[in-house]
Amino acid sequence: MQIVKYQFQQHGDERGQLVALEEFNDIPFEIKRVYYMYDTAEGVIRGYHAHKSLKQILICIHGSCKILLDNGKGEKKKVFLEKPYEGLFVDNNMWREMYDFSPDAVLMCLASEVYNEEDYIRNYDDFLKFVNEESE
């Protein structure tokens, strides 16, 4: 299982840093939705789901957090996000949990689809069934 992390170009000068993200150039899909999480309470784990077709890029634009990715085929990886110029690609059919948010963490998500509850798999056993049946 390959972890795909993007290092976005930083347009830095004496005034500070700026990162620009363009769909298909910096982001490998059409960006149909952007959302972000902040003020996450201590000890909270978010996510606990996979998507049937949606793809995402997660960027911790402030503070830090950890992401657990699980492909449902026995492979799990943990990724630490702490750079505003770094993006983690999360493919469809990938279980994710977000945890260890620093109090100041702002986790931004660029998504390839608008919000659609039908695309979610929220039960882990259903997820295992879904990914393992699909590849048979």
User: Interface residues with ligand TYD (CB under 6 A)?
Assistant: 33, 35, 46-47, 49, 115
- Which tokens hold the place of 26? 């910096």
Provide, rounded to whole angstroms, the least separation between the CB of residue 15 and ligand TYD: 33
| CA end-to-end distance (rounded Å), the chain | 18
Q: Which is nearer to ligand TYD, 33 or 62 (CB)?
A: 33
- Which tokens hold the place of 106? 């702002």
Name the active-site residue from 11, 49, 51, 62: 49
Q: Which is nearer to ligand TYD, 18 or 34 (CB)?
A: 34
Cross-strand bridge partners of residue 56 = 90, 111
Is 49 a catalytic site residue?
yes
Pairing of strands 46-51, 106-111: unpaired
Cα(10)–Cα(14) distance, integer angstroms: 13
Q: Which is nearer to ligand TYD, 10 or 62 (CB)?
A: 62
Which residues are marked as active site? 49
